[in-house]
Chains A and B, each alone.
Chain A
Amino acid sequence: MTLLLESLSSFFLYAIVAVFAQNAVFSRALGVSRLVKLVDDVSVSSIIFCGCLCTIQLISAPFAFLFNRYLLSALSWRAVIRPVVMLVCASIALGIVVVVLGVSKVSWASKVLPVLPMATFNCAILGCLFLTTAQNFTFAQTMGFSLGSGLGYTLAVMIVTEGQRKIRQRAVPNTFQGLPVTLLYIAVLALAIYGFTGHMAAI
């Protein structure tokens, strides 16, 4: 019972930390290139993209945990093959989602399938897998951090999209319009994160 409660508390603690204090975008700039494209791109739905990202993140996390515990930790040259192993985990998650969508034959599958590769092979997914495996998180911590990381990315997309909408209504100088002002907006939000973490590099 104590073990279960401990696992649950670390799951929720790591999830909350990953959403706010260790937000993938604001504290580590993970997936920020995709984010600045996403908020300007009307052809890709942010909700579908973030939904896919969270799903892939959650499915790939246990595979990364198992590969790290039973394969990578035994190897002295794990740093060399870590990207390949993590890509395998993300690919397995992608395969599972594609098969489930194919079998269930849901009407919105045609909207989700084109977005899946973008949501799978990006820095937010792999960055989270690298962090959880390099720091040897427990299973509960891994799952909590992965869920929080996906939700944190979704939160960042929503905040930046809303920020973009408000910035468009202001008189922004020509040279700052588009990418520069979006990056400045993210910089201000990243500064706010230091309220949680203090001044330290995110590496």
Chain B
Amino acid sequence: MWSKRVQYLNENYPRISKNDRIFLNNPVMMSGLGLAPLVVTANSGYNAVVLSVAVLLILTPTRVLGSFVSRVVKFRALAYCFSAAVIYMGAYLLLRDWFDVRVVSMGIYLPLLVVEPIVIKRYERNTPEKWTTALRKGILTTAGYALVIMIIGLLREFLATGMLFEEPIMKAPLLPMASLASGGFVAVALLCALWRAMVNMTKKWINMEAKKYQ
């Protein structure tokens, strides 16, 4: 059973890796998408939650709506961007209702999600997307992005203030610059290197296990 599973993984690794938006082909860690809000605003646990919920409300609906609109509107960049902007209207009202002033503290980075490549990048492809594919890929991409946002947000809050969700963990902060944009770049770079190393190790491990059973 185990040997069959490992051999299946080894033989289908490129396809499985391509479709896995959470770990093996995470859009942020492997392709560098969605960096602007991550680097600047994901500097605390609560900010990360607000950003993750915003992504949850905007990304998948935009992708699905964009797949319908792009069948009518020939210029797909417009179709995806305006779909995102229309969905942002509803998302913003919900976020204001749920998180109140924390939404204001996100500054320009919340409305910037309407042109963030992780949300609208699909327009660069030549063929329109089926709505079912858009829904599935949208959900997976959202999960992968939200996971990275939460990791980076909690890591930066811990390093910058010694707290997690505003609860003190350490007496003194370890690295106050982690809350700034440059600290965000460093945190994302280090997580990216670690993530890629883990992906490579997973690939090698599957390959070696498959060879054992051949």
Q: A interface vs B, CB < 8 Å?
A: 26-34, 36-37, 79-84, 86-87, 91, 117-118, 120-123, 125-127, 130-131, 134, 174-176, 178-181, 183-184, 186-188, 190-191, 193-194, 199-203
A181→B189 contact, CB < 8 A: yes
B108→A179 contact, CB < 8 A: no
A28→B40 contact, CB < 8 A: yes
Minimum CB distance partner of B117 in chain A: A33
9-residue interface stretch from B14-22, B136-144, B176-184: B176-184
B116→A123 contact, CB < 8 A: yes
Instruction: Tell me, in angstroms, the Cα distance from A176 to B188 when the chains sit together.
Output: 12
With known contacts A82-B111, A121-B77, A122-B115, A201–B196 Cβ distance under 8 A = no
Minimum CB distance partner of A188 in chain B: B182
Given contacts A31-B36, A84-B86, A194-B180, 14 further A-B contacts (CB under 8 A): A27-B181, A29-B185, A83-B111, A84-B89, A117-B77, A122-B115, A123-B115, A180-B190, A180-B193, A183-B32, A187-B186, A191-B182, A201-B40, A203-B107
Instruction: Tell me, in angstroms, the Cα distance from A117 to B32 when the chains sit together.
Output: 19
Q: Report which residue of A27, A127, A202 has the largest number of chain B beta carbons within 10 angstroms of its beta carbon.
A: A202
B180→A201 contact, CB < 8 A: yes
Instruction: Tell me, in angstroms, the Cα distance from A30 to B84 when the chains sit together.
Output: 18
Q: List 17 A-B contacts (CB under 8 A).
A: A30-B112, A33-B36, A36-B35, A37-B32, A80-B93, A83-B85, A83-B114, A118-B124, A123-B36, A178-B196, A183-B186, A184-B189, A190-B181, A199-B180, A201-B40, A201-B180, A203-B40
> Which residues of the partner chain B approach A31 to less than 8 Å between Cβ atoms?
36
- Give the secondary structure class of A's interface: helix
**Pick from A30, A180, A193: contact of B36, CB under 8 Å:** A30
A180→B196 contact, CB < 8 A: yes
Q: Is B120 engaged at the interface, CB distance under 8 Å to the other chain? A: yes
B34→A33 contact, CB < 8 A: yes
Q: Is B92 engaged at the interface, CB distance under 8 Å to the other chain? A: yes
> Which residues of the partner chain A approach B114 to less than 8 Å between Cβ atoms?
83, 87, 126
B35→A32 contact, CB < 8 A: yes
A186→B85 contact, CB < 8 A: no
B115→A121 contact, CB < 8 A: yes
B77→A36 contact, CB < 8 A: no
With known contacts A127-B108, A190-B181, A203-B107, A87–B40 Cβ distance under 8 A = no
B92→A80 contact, CB < 8 A: yes
With known contacts A201-B40, A203-B107, A123–B89 Cβ distance under 8 A = no
Q: Is B81 engaged at the interface, CB distance under 8 Å to the other chain? A: yes
B36→A190 contact, CB < 8 A: no
Minimum CB distance partner of A27 in chain B: B181
> Which residues of the partner chain B approach A191 to less than 8 Å between Cβ atoms?
177, 182
Q: Report which residue of A34, A123, A188 has the largest number of chain B beta carbons within 10 angstroms of its beta carbon.
A: A123
A183→B192 contact, CB < 8 A: yes
> Which residues of the partner chain A approach B124 to less than 8 Å between Cβ atoms?
118
A187→B77 contact, CB < 8 A: no
In B163-191, the 8 Å CB interface with A consists of 176-177, 179-186, 188-190
Q: Report which residue of A84, A134, A188 has the largest number of chain B beta carbons within 10 angstroms of its beta carbon.
A: A84
Which 6 A/B pairs are nearest by Cβ-Cβ distance?
A: A187-B185, A203-B107, A183-B189, A190-B182, A117-B77, A180-B193
Instruction: Tell me, in angstroms, the Cα distance from A188 to B200 when the chains sit together.
Output: 27
> Which residues of the partner chain B approach A91 to less than 8 Å between Cβ atoms?
78
Instruction: Tell me, in angstroms, the Cα distance from A91 to B73 when the chains sit together.
Output: 14
Q: Is B60 engaged at the interface, CB distance under 8 Å to the other chain? A: no
CB distance from B122 to the nearest CB of A (A): 12
Q: Is B69 engaged at the interface, CB distance under 8 Å to the other chain? A: no
B108→A134 contact, CB < 8 A: yes
CB distance from B65 to the nearest CB of A (A): 14
With known contacts A81-B89, A123-B112, A87–B82 Cβ distance under 8 A = yes
